[in-house]
């Protein structure tokens, strides 16, 4: 039997209901915040991700679904959504148009990771990107948008926050960090020895226990921010506090993608296993420029939909289902027309085979219908349909023109 690929799941029944509920909820809230839907291709040039996510990142270095297409183009299945949205933004020359542009998207992303609970090779993100605003109020807005989505779904979270500085304060800090690691090089793992050459800041993210203990004493970027980054970070934390939004400053939160500057954040959820990051994002003021656009400040996030599916609290009660059945073959056409009319304002199941009265009632109960509507000889004569409310156990006869 042919099976789905490892780390690539089918989604149906309860999970797909939750998925749809997530999308409709998140979409409605994102629109309230002024974000509009954008859709970009799943397949992009590999160079796009090398230049944005970064060559030294695990995503580009180890996890890309990359191949040559028939035209010998080096292409890749998108591992994340931001790069494609920025490419589209620049391609459409919106960077030159100026103004504010806010987009949200959802869809599958692909990373060749080692599958485990909460870590898939094809997973889905709901993301949003805001272009053209450098103000920390926009960082706050993005955080509030995530907060509102998670709250509407009944999903609990902890917010972790950090600042990754800017081209003024990052290089001198990086040098301090490199000096620190080199002074303790005999205590760090092989991965960190490599990281310190390629992208030193990523050492802070190391999962190795002894490295983590060592880096507790490493210089912290939040204490080395330039005046502007420091003021922005102070303002953001002050606004969050003022609005009663709890957060933790995590000086080791560096994110796995290279394009961030200033605000970086993650929402984590306890009780879903080791892969507990349910959303991540931050500011990326230089990415539009890296992708050949005009310098444009930007901030955004993505929620990992699979990671929160089981946490979503679905609304109670379902839309009532109407079961329609006829007792004689020659009345199926009439039954179909009547039931189809009812479909204009209700969820309808039509039974195509004639059945006895008792059999229809039994069938309706089996599929969880609220109403069982039966058409027999008498009903045809009087142009009515017999209706039973299976929940309240009451029955009546309805004229056809009152069906809706
Ligand atoms: P990210 O942190 O790589 O950020 O991914 C965002 C979320 O996607 C994660 O917090 C997690 O919930 C989910 N996720 C990531 N990898 C997997 C996986 N293998 N299986 C299941 N879920 C996963 C980004 O992708 C950035 N583009 C976010 C962003 C948007 N930053 C600015 N704008």
Q: Which atom of ligand 1 is nearest to the CA of 129?
A: 33
pLDDT at 2: 98
Question: From the CB of 280, is ligand 1 less than 6 Å away?
Answer: yes
Looking at beta carbons, which pairs linking 149-153 to residues 24 or more positions away fall under 8 Å? Answer: 149/25, 149/26, 149/29, 149/30, 149/303, 150/267, 150/278, 150/279, 150/303, 150/308, 152/25, 152/29, 153/21, 153/22, 153/25, 153/308, 153/311, 153/312, 153/313
Cα(277) to centroid(ligand 1), Å: 8
Residue of 100, 41, 32, 99 whose CA lies nearest to 75: 41
pLDDT computed for residue 293 by the predictor: 98
- Rounded Cα–Cα distance for residues 297 and 134 (Å): 5
Q: What is the pLDDT of residue 373?
A: 98
CA of 374 to the centre of ligand 1 (A): 51
* Residue-range domains of the chain with CATH: 13-169+225-311 (3.30.930.10), 321-402 (3.40.50.800)
- The residue whose two tokens read 């020659």 is 330
Ligand 1 within 6 A of 148 CB? no
User: How far is residue 100's CA from residue 94's CA, in Å, rounded to a whole number?
Assistant: 9
Residue nearest to atom 17 of ligand 1 (CA): 119
Residue ranges in the chain whose pLDDT is less than 70: none
Give the pLDDT score at 317.
73
Q: Whose Cα sits closest to atom 4 in ligand 1?
A: 280
DSSP letters for 126-159: EEEEEES--SHHHHHHHHHHHHHHHHHHT---EE
Give the C-alpha separation, 322 to 294, whole Å.
57
């Amino acid at each position: 039997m042919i099976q789905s690929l490892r780390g690539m799941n089918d989604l149906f029944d309860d999970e797909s209901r939750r998925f749809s509920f997530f999308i409709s909820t998140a979409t409605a809230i994102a629109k309230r915040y002024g974000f509009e839907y954008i859709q970009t291709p799943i397949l992009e040039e590999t160079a796009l991700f090398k230049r944005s996510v970064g060559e030294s990142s695990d995503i580009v270095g180890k996890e890309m679904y990359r191949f040559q297409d028939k035209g010998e183009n080096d292409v890749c299945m998108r591992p994340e959504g931001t790069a494609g949205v920025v490419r589209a933004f620049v391609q459409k020359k919106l960077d030159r148009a100026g103004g504010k542009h806010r987009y949200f998207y959802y869809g599958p992303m692909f990373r060749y990771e080692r599958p485990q609970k909460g870590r898939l090779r094809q997973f889905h993100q709901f993301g949003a990107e805001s272009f053209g605003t450098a103000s920390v109020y926009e960082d706050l807005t993005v955080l509030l948008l995530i907060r509102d989505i998670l709250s509407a779904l009944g999903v609990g979270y902890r917010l972790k926050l950090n600042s990754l500085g800017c081209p003024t304060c990052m290089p001198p800090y990086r040098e301090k960090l490199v000096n620190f690691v080199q002074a303790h090089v005999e205590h760090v793992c092989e991965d960190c020895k490599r990281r310190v050459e390629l992208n030193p800041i990523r050492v802070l993210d190391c999962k190795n226990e002894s490295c983590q203990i060592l880096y507790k004493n490493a210089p912290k970027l939040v204490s080395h921010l330039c005046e502007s980054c420091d003021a922005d970070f102070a303002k953001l934390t002050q606004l969050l506090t003022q609005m009663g939004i709890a957060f933790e400053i995590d000086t080791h939160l560096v994110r796995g993608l290279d394009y961030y500057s200033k605000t970086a954040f993650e929402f984590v959820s306890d009780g879903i296993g080791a892969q507990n990051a349910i959303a991540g994002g931050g500011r990326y003021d230089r990415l539009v420029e890296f992708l050949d656009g005009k310098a444009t400040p930007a901030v955004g996030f993505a929620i990992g939909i699979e990671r929160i599916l089981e946490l979503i609290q679905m609304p109670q009660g379902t839309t009532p289902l109407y079961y329609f059945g006829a007792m004689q073959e020659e009345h199926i056409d009439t039954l179909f027309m009547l039931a189809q009319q009812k479909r204009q304002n209700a969820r309808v199941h039509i039974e195509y085979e004639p059945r006895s009265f008792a059999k229809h009632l039994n069938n309706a109960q089996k599929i969880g219908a609220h109403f069982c509507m039966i058409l027999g000889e008498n009903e045809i004569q009087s142009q009515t349909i017999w209706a039973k409310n299976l929940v309240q156990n009451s029955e009546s006869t309805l004229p056809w023109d009152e069906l809706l």
